[in-house]
Structure 1
Amino acid sequence: MKFTSVLSDVVGSTGRAILEALIAGERDPERLADLARGKARNKIPALIEALEGEFTTHHAFMVRHYLDEIDRLNSTIALFDSRIATLLAEREQDLNNLDTIPGIGRLAAEVIIAETGGDMAQFASAQHLASWIGVCPGQNESAGVSRSGRTRPGNSNIKRPLGTAAMAAIRDKTSYLAAFFRRISARRCGQRALVAVMHKIAIAIWHVLHDKTAYRDLGADYFAKRDPERAMRRMIKEANSLGLTVRFDRSQLSDLRGSLYFRVRPTTSSCIRWGRGRPLCLIRPGVGAKASGIGLAGHLPPGGIPAGLAENCFLIVRSVYEATAGVPVHGCRDAQRQ
């Protein structure tokens, strides 16, 4: 028998029912497969084929022993979980605040409270906590030359869940940590960027426990808002790589007053003749917002602008406008000719 190739969890509800039936003496593959529950019932034909085989009384004895051992360990885990919950009852608010940090779950929050005591008064700053955990940048300098340094060992009991939390946090593409990871990994490497994200999470832990507040995500557009000119240069560079040029200027049209304005022009001779294309995006400030004299207009080539470029143009231009004018931005992201 090899029904582990069909069921991903052998001791789940379906696997446990089949094993109990085998221990009780049932050997008919069809009757055993009919014990499947939930989505596993879609795999009944495969289960029937996998349950063809020999299952002796010695096998039944060993399976009974292992199932009893699993039950004993589960009861022990439940007992310790109950004890931990009792000891951390006074730290419930801190646990809830830590749970708001991306990648940090209930178990990781309990480990953090257990290892640090939950009192950040013993750490002078967030950097001291990161150094104690062992996720601060290494220091390796000789004769005024800084070399790549390894991180210190630190507290491995916290460093392990922090690594897991960092890998989970970067999966959310709309979060600040994911944007920070992409920013670092582009010029360094994935492993170094992951350690940098762990350092960011350690700093967030200190502030959450020190200020007794929940985590506030800065958003994936934080870096674009912090340095709008750099975001513009990056967008121009991406447009140039696609054979286009992008220019930002102020609109002189009265009907576009108060909106952000840019034009897209081709650089290749085959795309010079566009005619009077439709606007790529039209972004206006919110109702009642103070007009800044900036407008947005654009024209499409005959084949249209690639969706990726149009999306980046919209997001970056919106971030730049909100950062400079301080008003919400609305617009259309359609990159194809209407």
Structure 2
Amino acid sequence: MSECPHHRGHLIQERTRHKHRMDKALQDAQIKLSGVVSDLFGVSGRAMLDALVAGERHPRALAELAQGSLVRKKAALAEALTGQFEDHHARLLGVLLSIVDHLTAQINELDRLIVQTLEEVTTPHDGPAGTGTGPASDAVTAQALAERLDAVPGIGPATAQIILAEIGTDMRRFPSPEHLVSWAKLCPRTIQSGAKNSAGPVGQGNPWLKGALGEAANAAARTDTFLGARYRRIVKRRGHAKALVAVARSILVIAWHLINEPGASYEELGADWHQRHLNPARRTRDLVRQLQALGHQVNLEPATT
């Protein structure tokens, strides 16, 4: 099942390269459209590109094709579309547009095949950690598991499909979340030299799985959720890279539970979960230490009711 997501990833990369070539061709003709339009291949951007290929050269006429929020930027669009766009630029742009459309059609077909395959694949749930105690009626489709994963912050439909393609839908090969995390190489290594033990970097692992989890962690870090708060807590003392690895590990642990446990669903704990469950004595000690580091003398007195 992993071949389709892999091939789709290659096609998306190839389409992205051709889109960059189109922007470079426009820049060569002194057309700065990408500086005004956030999505060069959106409704407005694509209409302007098609008009350029069809022979329209007047900047104001091209700017009139703007739709939605770009209507307010017609003056900036007209200025960005003022350049030296010649016929040879139009021919090159037409070829690149046809390649992008062809790749988009192939990607859409792969999306359809992936969804169809996920709907055909069923996974019997044998109880927690594959104990063999669950009834056969608990079987669920891989598409249902993908929808469960889609509810996790940072995970979208495509990322959920990649996770299922790489780790499978049967968690009996991973008796616990720790086994899955270790297999994915998302836990620090212990390097032993004689009697000395030191922590080492994580291993290589599955590149497709780690890439998908990295993108999910990066997206979750920008959210006001439990995973976002976890990233912000760790990044202050460990740095961006290690914080992302920690969030990716948490996402993989959540995925293990959602796949392994029948009827499981994701429940958001909230961005303030750590504050609500923090040990008051430890929190007090940390705050006192911070004030002392700033040169203050702290005397604690219990508050009266």
TM-score (ref. length: structure 1): 0.67
In structure 2, the CA distance between the partners of 1:193 and 1:54, relative to structure 1 (3 Å rule), is closer
The equivalent of 1:96 in structure 2 is 147
Question: Quick check: 1:224–1:231 contact (8 Å CA) kept in 2?
Answer: no
Question: Quick check: 2:44–2:66 contact (8 Å CA) kept in 1?
Answer: yes
The equivalent of 2:77 in structure 1 is 47
The alignment yields a C-alpha RMSD, in angstroms, of 2.4
In structure 2, the CA distance between the partners of 1:172 and 1:235, relative to structure 1 (3 Å rule), is farther
Bigger Cα displacement from structure 2, 2-11 vs 109-118:
2-11
CA distance in 2, matches of 1:140, 1:97: 37
The equivalent of 2:238 in structure 1 is 188
Letter matched to residue 18 of structure 1: M
- What is the Cα deviation at residue 236 of structure 1? 4.0
Letter matched to residue 28 of structure 1: H
1:145 and 2:196 aligned: yes
Q: Deviation per CA, 1:164-215: give whole Å up to 9, x if none.
A: 1112222234x33334334433433332222122222221111111113112
The equivalent of 2:185 in structure 1 is 134
The equivalent of 1:69 in structure 2 is 99
CA distance in 1, matches of 2:254, 2:295: 39
Q: Percent identity?
A: 37
Select 2:174's aligned residue among 123, 139, 152.
Answer: 123
Task: Point out the structure with the larger helix share.
Answer: 2
CA distance in 2, matches of 1:126, 1:52: 57
Letter matched to residue 257 of structure 2: H
CA distance in 2, matches of 1:182, 1:94: 29
The equivalent of 1:286 in structure 2 is none
Bigger Cα displacement from structure 2, 178-187 vs 43-52:
178-187
Letter matched to residue 199 of structure 1: R
Larger Rg: 1
The equivalent of 2:284 in structure 1 is 232
- What is the Cα deviation at residue 224 of structure 1? 4.9
Select 1:202's aligned residue among 252, 256, 259.
Answer: 252
CA distance in 2, matches of 1:43, 1:192: 41
In structure 2, the CA distance between the partners of 1:78 and 1:248, relative to structure 1 (3 Å rule), is farther
- What is the Cα deviation at residue 239 of structure 1? 5.7
Letter matched to residue 127 of structure 1: E
1:13 and 2:43 aligned: yes
- What is the Cα deviation at residue 230 of structure 1? 0.9
Question: Quick check: 1:236–1:246 contact (8 Å CA) kept in 2?
Answer: no
Unmatched segments (≥5 aa) in structure 1: 250-261, 264-294, 296-338
In structure 2, the CA distance between the partners of 1:244 and 1:163, relative to structure 1 (3 Å rule), is same
In structure 2, the CA distance between the partners of 1:21 and 1:189, relative to structure 1 (3 Å rule), is closer
In structure 2, the CA distance between the partners of 1:125 and 1:30, relative to structure 1 (3 Å rule), is same
The equivalent of 2:7 in structure 1 is none
Unmatched segments (≥5 aa) in structure 2: 1-29, 120-140
1:36 and 2:66 aligned: yes
The equivalent of 2:9 in structure 1 is none
The equivalent of 1:288 in structure 2 is none
CA distance in 1, matches of 2:151, 2:185: 22
Q: Deviation per CA, 1:223-269: give whole Å up to 9, x if none.
A: 652523212323444566595857463xxxxxxxxxxxx37xxxxxx
- What is the Cα deviation at residue 67 of structure 1? 1.3
Select 2:219's aligned residue among 168, 171, 181.
Answer: 168
The equivalent of 2:162 in structure 1 is 111
Letter matched to residue 83 of structure 1: L
CA distance in 1, matches of 2:90, 2:235: 52
In structure 2, the CA distance between the partners of 1:211 and 1:223, relative to structure 1 (3 Å rule), is farther
The equivalent of 2:126 in structure 1 is none
CA distance in 2, matches of 1:161, 1:248: 50
Question: Quick check: 2:154–2:219 contact (8 Å CA) kept in 1?
Answer: yes
Letter matched to residue 82 of structure 1: R
Q: Deviation per CA, 1:53-103: give whole Å up to 9, x if none.
A: 333222222111111111111111111101111111222321122122221
Question: Quick check: 2:188–2:199 contact (8 Å CA) kept in 1?
Answer: no
The equivalent of 1:305 in structure 2 is none
SS of the residue corresponding to residue 88 of structure 1 reads helix
Letter matched to residue 125 of structure 1: S
Letter matched to residue 200 of structure 1: S
CA distance in 2, matches of 1:28, 1:242: 67
- State the aligned residue count: 251
In structure 2, the CA distance between the partners of 1:204 and 1:7, relative to structure 1 (3 Å rule), is same
